[in-house]
Amino acid sequence: MKFNTKVIHGGQENIDPAYGAVMPPIYQTSTYKQSTPGGHKGFEYSRSGNPTRDALEKALASIENGKHGLAFGSGLAAMDAVLKLFNPGDEIVSTNDLYGGSYRLFTGIFEKFGIKFHFVGMDDIARIEEKINSNTKLIWVETPTNPMMNVIDIQAVSQLARKNQILLAVDNTFATPYLQRPLDLGADIVMHSATKYLGGHSDVVMGSLVVKDDKLAQRLYYIQNASGAVPGPQDSFLVLRGIKTLHLRMQRHCENGAAVAQFLKDHPKVGKVYWPGFEDHPGHETAKKQMTGFGGMISFTTKDDSKQSAVELVEKLRVFTLAESLGGVESLAGHPASMTHASIPKEEREKTGVVDSLIRLSVGIEDEEDLIEDLKQALG
Ligand code: P1T
């Protein structure tokens, strides 16, 4: 099956044996009748498993070319499950530019439990290699990164991980499996904030993991069930529905992203524009190699490099909504330093370019002309 067919049919065989419903019913139930203790029809309690969630998990596995999908109550809950694979004394090498909440989970929660994190710029593989020692258990890659749009060579990192028998996890939230499939490039775990493009309509908070390896899937399933951060059936239904139009939405996100990025680049009141589709973007060649398009996420600075001009700009936007999050049908604008990345100390975030004049756009699927008009009026 090719990708556009998979988003609609992948893992969805025999979805409703009872009546043949084309979409799985929302099994709004916490538990299931047993005929004798332990005698059930595949589900016993909805933390352990629910048919609607199961349909979604199979779809997730299918579109990422994996074997096992696991859904969680949020993207951070999915990451939390990955981190619970490890023990005190274990070390993790992570990209230094990543979602602020991911950084907070690593440093604010798991460091306390004795896991050591190294944050490095992953444009140079040698920097990752420098941090690897016998305690290193995981490399955490986010690509393109949030919000600086750095592109990390998944295949190159996976070769390094394999050589050292370290797991590689890739946060594929920005790219989506429409543009990039990390498991095909050698990653062991692919993670999503399904809140974003997979859900696609800004109406659900959810996370997911997909893996190929049976043993790793079993360990993650154990954590999913034992820790219990699972999504409900209604949300599972919504994300499954969202996935069915992922390919169409992503096409438009990419087209609008390209138009908005070029408009910003040409505008005299704009400073730097970060979008991997530009030939002069340092990760452009890698993006061309591992992605099938450049997406609709763009970050840029204002020309005068001041917080004031950035804040004024986002306040003036009318079609773009000033809000956290990304990946929905509607265009959003954010000020990372005071919103999504406020949990990273100023000194740390400025090292990676998250300065006070930085604005992040999630370009939606509206008419391109309206988006550009809106930016034009806001830039004055
Ligand atoms: O919000 P949640 O579903 O828990 O996902 C966390 C997360 C993980 N990884 C990436 C790359 C993300 O962008 C996010 C969430 N990000 C935002 C809310 C944001 O506006 O950047």
Contact 148, 97 (CB under 8 A): yes
**Active-site hit among 6, 84, 196, 360:** 196
Exactly one of 6, 58, 99, 349 is catalytic; which is it? 99
Q: How far apart are CA 127 and CA 95, in angstroms?
A: 10
Give yes or no for residue 30 having a pLDDT over 90: yes
Contact 176, 1 (CB under 8 A): no
Angle, vertex CA 252, rays to CA 246 and CA 254, nearest 5: 95
Over 90: is that where the pLDDT of 232 sits?
yes
| Phi, psi dihedrals of residue 243, rounded to the nearest 5° | -60, -30
Tokens 């452009």, located at residue: 284
Q: How many angstroms is it from 69 CA to the middle of ligand 1?
A: 19
0.85 cut: is pTM over it? yes
99 is an active site residue: yes
Dist CA 119 CA 135 (whole Å)? 15
Cβ atoms 307, 336 nearer than 8 A? no
Give the nearest ligand 1 atom to 206 CA: 3
Nearest to 212 by CA among 173, 184, 175: 184
Tokens of 223: 């954590």
| Paired tokens of 124 | 């140079």
**What pLDDT shows up at residue 43?**
97
How far apart are the C-alpha atoms of 339 and 175, rounded to whole Å? 21
Atom of ligand 1 nearest to the CA of 78: 4
CB-based contact 210:24 (threshold 8 Å): no
Tell me which residue has its CA closest to atom 18 in ligand 1.
325
- The question of whether 244 is a catalytic residue gets the answer no
Residue 142 CA, distance from chain mean position? 8
pLDDT above 90 for 124: yes
User: SS3 for 111?
Assistant: coil
Instruction: Order the strands of the 136-142 sheet from edge to edge.
Output: 68-72, 207-211, 189-193, 167-171, 136-142, 91-95, 116-120
Q: Are 191 and 79 in contact (CB under 8 A)?
A: yes
Q: Which of 146, 152, 179, 190 to mutate to test the pocket of ligand 1 (most atoms within 8 A of CB)?
A: 146
What pLDDT digit, counting tens, does each position of 129-152 carry? Answer: 999 999 999 999 999 999 999 999
Report the percentage of the chain scoring pLDDT > 90. 98
- CA 101 to ligand 1 centroid distance, Å: 7
The CATH superfamily holding the domain 246-379 is Aspartate Aminotransferase, domain 1 (3.90.1150.10)
- The secondary structure of 197-254 as a DSSP string is TTT-SS----EEEEES-HHHHHHHHHHHHHH--PPPHHHHHHHHHHHTTHHHHHHHHH
Task: Tell me the per-residue pLDDT of 270-310, one tens digit each, with 9 for 90 and over.
Answer: 999 999 999 999 999 999 999 999 999 999 999 999 999 99
CA distance 204 to 234: 9
Give the pLDDT mean for 192-215.
98
Closest residue by CA, ligand 1 atom 10: 99
Is 178 an annotated catalytic residue? no
Position 237 scores a pLDDT of 98
Residue to mutate, 72, 99, 239, ligand 1, most ligand atoms under 8 Å from C-beta: 99
Lowest mean pLDDT among 9-18, 93-102, 221-230, 362-371: 9-18
Domain ranges of the chain: 3-243, 246-379
Q: For residue 284, how many other CB atoms are within 10 A of its CB?
A: 16
Quick check: is 289 catalytic?
no
Tell me the backbone φ, ψ of residue 171, rounded to 5 degrees.
-80, 110
Q: Residue 160 — pLDDT band, cuts 50, 70, 90?
A: very high
Cα separation, 254 vs 363, whole angstroms: 8
The two structure tokens encoding residue 314: 């986002």
Identify the band that residue 331 occupies on the pLDDT scale cut at 50, 70 and 90.
very high
Per-residue pLDDT tens over the stretch 309-321: 999 999 999 999 9
pLDDT band at 340 (very low <50, low <70, confident <90, very high): very high
Give the bridge partners for 95, in sequence order. Answer: 120
The CATH number, out of the four listed (3.40.50.970, 3.40.640.10, 3.40.50.1400, 3.40.50.300), of the domain defined by the range 3-243: 3.40.640.10
The reported pLDDT for the residue numbered 79 is 98
Give, using CA atoms, the residue closest to atom 2 of ligand 1.
Answer: 75
- Ligand 1 binding site (Cβ under 6 Å of any ligand atom): 74-76, 99, 101-102, 142, 146, 171, 173, 193, 195, 205, 207, 324-326, 340
Distance 40 CA to ligand 1 centre (A): 37
Whether the per-residue pLDDT at 14 is higher than 90: the answer is: no
Express as a percent the part of the chain with pLDDT over 70: 100
Q: Per-residue pLDDT tens for 351-360?
A: 999 999 999 9
Give the ligand 1 atom nearest the CA of 79. 8
Residue 97 has pLDDT above 90, yes or no: yes
Q: Check pLDDT > 90 for residue 50.
A: yes
